[in-house]
Amino acid sequence: MADNVTAPAIGLAFATDEVAGVHWPYAKLAFGGDGSAVVLADADGARLPVALPAVATTTRAYDWPAGQRLTTAGAAAVRSTAIAAAEVLLHASARGFVAVGDAAVVASVGAGSIPMEAGEKFHLRLTSGQHVSFIRDGAADASLTVMPVAP
């Protein structure tokens, strides 16, 4: 059976595609308000309008004066003072492990702490008032910079 058909009574041919014995009409797409139509084409003003979501244009603000640098002296973990922020940027000078918690939190090498590679930076959400603990994973002393992110 041919793809195109002729409309009865008026003898006008129109394009279709036959799929499983059923004719599906081909149609051109258009858009526009009531009483108007813009036929879609690959040209300015004739492409299908698409509404894109708003993109945030703000950047993070870092609270430099409230930042802390935790430096190990030997194999023991070091701990920050209470952090008054809901998010921090962490930056490790050498491979180590980080833990977050109350005033007694202690990072350990391995399970239960977050591993960080030398030079790694990442943002961490925490509860305001929590502490960050850092322990090196190697023979040389290391440091962790803890930078609060302003809301």
Domain coverage including residue 81: 61-150
The tens digit of pLDDT for each residue in 19-52 reads 888 888 878 788 888 888 888 888 888 888 888 8
Distance of CA 112 to the CA centre of its chain: 25
Assess if residue 108 is contained within a domain.
Answer: yes
Q: Domain check: are 96 and 136 in the same one?
A: yes
- The total of structural domains in the chain comes to 2
Q: Domain check: are 80 and 143 in the same one?
A: yes
pLDDT for position 1: 58
pLDDT for position 32: 84
Q: Domain check: are 84 and 137 in the same one?
A: yes
* Residue 53, CA atoms < 13 Å, CB-side half-sphere: 2
Q: Domain check: are 26 and 98 in the same one?
A: no
pLDDT for position 33: 85
Task: Kindly give the parts of the chain with pLDDT less than 70.
Answer: 1-2
Q: Which residues contact 68 (CB under 8 A, 6 or more apart)?
A: 80, 81, 83, 132, 145, 146
Q: Domain check: are 69 and 140 in the same one?
A: yes
Assess if residue 55 is contained within a domain.
Answer: no
Assess if residue 86 is contained within a domain.
Answer: yes
Q: Which residues contact 15 (CB under 8 A, 6 or more apart)?
A: 3, 4, 25, 26
pLDDT for position 117: 95
Q: Domain check: are 72 and 112 in the same one?
A: yes
Query: What is the CATH number for 93?
Result: 2.60.120.10
Q: Is the pTM of this model over 0.85?
A: no
